[in-house]
Amino acid sequence: MKKLVCLTLASLVSLSAVFAQADHHSAGPLFYGQSIGLVASDAPAVLSAMDKWRNSEAGKSAPNTVVLLQNIVNGEYKSTHGINIFYPNGASMDASMKLYAGNKDWADFQKTLSSLVEPEWENTYSIIRAKVKEGDVSSSNRVSMVYAITVTDPAGFMMAFDKLWDSSAIQDFPEKSIWDNLLHLA
């Protein structure tokens, strides 16, 4: 009986945390992403390997968008580059994994990539807010600043963030602003 009471209380606490994080801005994530930080000794070779994979039959049919980026300033991290993979929904993440399983081109890409880079970190996240204005993608200044933070009071944080998000400082900002809900995977 004691275990049942503890399990019920734990379930209620977990459920209340989910409701505490809910907000009036969205019913769920806009899309999902995975990011991998890499130390690349030969960036052109990494790009060539990625191009070869993305031009393969499986690479072309993968239901995702892949972005290779160069880190200009990276705090205490030593990664020189990053790979961001964006998925429109969870089902497309599953479809990608199914597509890659046992695929020779994918295996060749992984073997080549592992010889060219040292992975430093990775995470999976959901985008819960995005503010994109016309022309952002084709902007000649393609620079992003991303912050990873740990939130200890989700409800309080979202209340304060909602206030900031709804302000003219954010809504009238001329560039792209993305808020990532990072789910760091160990």
Taken in order 155, 170, 138, 145, the sign of the CA dihedral is: negative
pLDDT of residue 169: 77
Cβ partners under 8 Å of residue 48, min gap 6: none
- Identify the CATH number of the domain defined by range 26-183: 3.30.70.100
Q: What is the pLDDT of residues 90-111, one digit of tens each?
A: 999 999 999 999 999 999 999 9
Phi, psi for residue 70 in degrees, rounded to 5: -105, 130
Q: How many residues does the chain have?
A: 186
Residue showing tokens 């040292």: 118
Residues 87/63, Cβ–Cβ less than 8 Å: yes
d(CA 20, CA 55): 44
Give residue limits of the domains in the chain: 26-183
Q: Where are the alpha helices (DSSP H) in the chain?
A: 2-21, 43-54, 57-61, 90-100, 104-116, 154-165, 168-171
Task: Count the Cβ atoms, other than its own, within 10 Å of residue 110.
Answer: 14
Q: What is the mean pLDDT of the chain?
A: 76
Q: What is the pLDDT of residues 22-69, one digit of tens each?
A: 444 556 778 899 999 999 989 999 999 999 999 999 999 999 999 888
DSSP letter at 181 equals: E
User: What is the pTM assigned to this prediction?
Assistant: 0.65
pLDDT of residue 58: 94
Phi, psi for residue 127 in degrees, rounded to 5: -90, 115
